[in-house]
Amino acid sequence: MLIDTYGRVATDLRVSLTDRCNLRCTYCMPEEGLQWLAKPDLLTDDEIVRLVGIAVTSLGVEEVRFTGGEPLLRPGLPGIVARVAALEPRPQTSLTTNGIGLGRIARALKDAGLDRVNVSLDTLRPDVFKALTRRDRHKDVLEGLRAAREAGLTPVKVNTVLMPGLNADEAPDLLAWAIEHGYELRFIEQMPLDAQHGWKREGMVTAGDILAALRTRFALAPEGAEERGSAPAERWIVDGGPHTVGVIASVTRPFCSACDRTRLTADGQVRTCLFAREETDLRAALRSEAPDEEIARLWRQAMWGKKAGAGLDDPSFVQPDRPMSAIGG
Ligand code: SAM
Ligand code: SF4
């Protein structure tokens, strides 16, 4: 098991497949993009499958989520999904994507063994989408969402970050739209993980703001703690059900004590937390021909050192060097 000194057990693995992206969301990266990882530094498909295999067969990982950067930019994605879905015991598989290109590949991903997707969409307005992502691709994301639902990659979840002055007024419209189209909406509080270090606590839209805005149009009742488990989203039953809405309040209501995550970057570093400043280099171990047991030992050791919390409220908090897109969100 991947257990830490606080007794938490990591069963949910986030794998970043690339740090590259075809959007430039303002809360994530600068307009000019970032210095991407060099190809030889990226894990190969075989290396990814070997590490995920160790996590699933020896370390108790039960869920594998592919992310990035934009994971749909990774060539050979369906092949990676198929090999991971063929592991014993079979892990749950999912993907977090900006949805561009999903229209073309959703069916192939489903056939390869992908269970679910989360598609990021912050606005219903094409002009606001362009301002937020610096690209004119709103239509492609809507197409991707539709294709995911039709391919059965369900429940299709929609991740939304609200930004003041841009889309902060859209919360109720987004929820009405998500209910109408059969998507499960989750708002994510903006976190200090952008490469430009532009995050300001005073400037962010909080979970409290989001819930207040939703309540102007909907009745929200909290879902029981049992249903939440270790899930980061606090879920609310909308207008008596069956629809729900989630709010991931990583900043104002952190859920670190229930965290069950471990992360692997596209260049093979284990991270215990999005906000961790330490990494453990599994790529070096892989490439020096370490046996599986040694890699499992390094991974366990990394998780044993996981901190109690992200420490956002600690005056000594320092944003990690790698931005979210390079860690794998
Ligand atoms: N490119 C894919 C996407 O956008 O879904 C996957 C990677 S992205 C880093 C994963 C999620 O992180 C997205 O839902 C995105 O909106 C969210 N995200 C990115 N930067 C964030 C930030 N500073 N605070 C909160 N969420 C952020
Ligand atoms: Fe790309 Fe996702 Fe970051 Fe937007 S949030 S720039 S889509 S990695």
Burial of 89 (0-12, 13-18, 19+ CB in 10 A): exposed
Going by alpha carbons, the residue nearest to atom 8 of ligand 2 is 69
Residue 53 has pLDDT above 70, yes or no: yes
The model's pTM is 0.95
Categorize the per-residue pLDDT at 323 as very low, low, confident or very high, splitting at 50, 70 and 90: confident
Domain ranges within the chain, ordered by starting residue: 12-327
Q: Is 328 in the pocket of ligand 2 (CB under 6 A)?
A: no
pLDDT over 70 (residue 42): yes
Q: Which residues pair with 160 in a beta bridge?
A: 187
Q: Which two tokens stand for residue 164?
A: 């003041």
Q: Does the beta carbon of 94 sit less than 6 angstroms from any atom of ligand 1?
A: no
Which atom of ligand 1 is nearest to 327's Cα?
A: 9
Spatial contact of 121 and 76, defined as CB atoms under 8 Å apart: no
- pLDDT tier for residue 327 given thresholds of 50, 70 and 90: confident
- Residue 150, pLDDT score: 98
Q: At what angle do helices 45-58 and 292-304 cross, to 10 degrees?
A: 70
Q: What is the C-alpha separation between 122 and 187, in angstroms, rounded?
A: 9
Specify the higher pLDDT residue, 54 or 232. 54
Express each pLDDT in 68-123 by its tens digit.
999 999 999 999 999 999 999 999 999 999 999 999 999 999 999 999 999 999 99
The pLDDT tens digits of the residues spanning 222-280 come to 997 655 566 678 999 999 999 999 999 989 988 889 999 999 999 999 999 988 888 99
CA distance 191 to 324: 9
What is residue 290's predicted lDDT score, i.e. its pLDDT? Answer: 98
pLDDT digits (tens, 9 = 90+) for 160-195: 999 999 999 999 999 999 999 999 999 999 998 887
What pLDDT was estimated at residue 197? Answer: 83
| CB of 279 sitting under 6 A from ligand 1 | no
pLDDT digits (tens, 9 = 90+) for 210-235: 999 999 999 999 997 655 566 678 99
Average pLDDT over residues 149-166: 97
Phi-psi group of 221: left, alpha or beta (phi > 0 → left; psi -120 to 50 → alpha; rest → beta): beta
Contacting residues for 316 by C-beta, under 8 A, at least 6 apart:
none
Give the atom of ligand 2 at the shortest distance from the alpha carbon of 70.
8
Q: Which atom of ligand 2 is nearest to the CA of 21?
A: 1
Classify domain 12-327 by CATH architecture. Alpha-Beta Barrel (3.20)
User: Which parts of the chain are beta strand (E)?
Assistant: 12-16, 63-67, 92-97, 116-120, 157-160, 184-188, 220-222, 234-238, 244-248, 261-264, 269-271, 280-281
Question: 17 in ligand 2 pocket by Cβ < 6 Å?
Answer: no
320 lines ligand 1 (CB under 6 A): no
Read off the pLDDT of residues 294-318 as tens digits, 9 standing for 90 and up: 999 999 999 999 988 877 777 677 7
Backbone angle region of 309, left / alpha / beta, with phi > 0 → left and psi within -120 to 50 → alpha:
beta
- The mean pLDDT value of the chain amounts to 94
Query: What SS3 class is residue 120?
Result: strand
Indicate the pLDDT class of residue 147, thresholds 50, 70 and 90.
Answer: very high
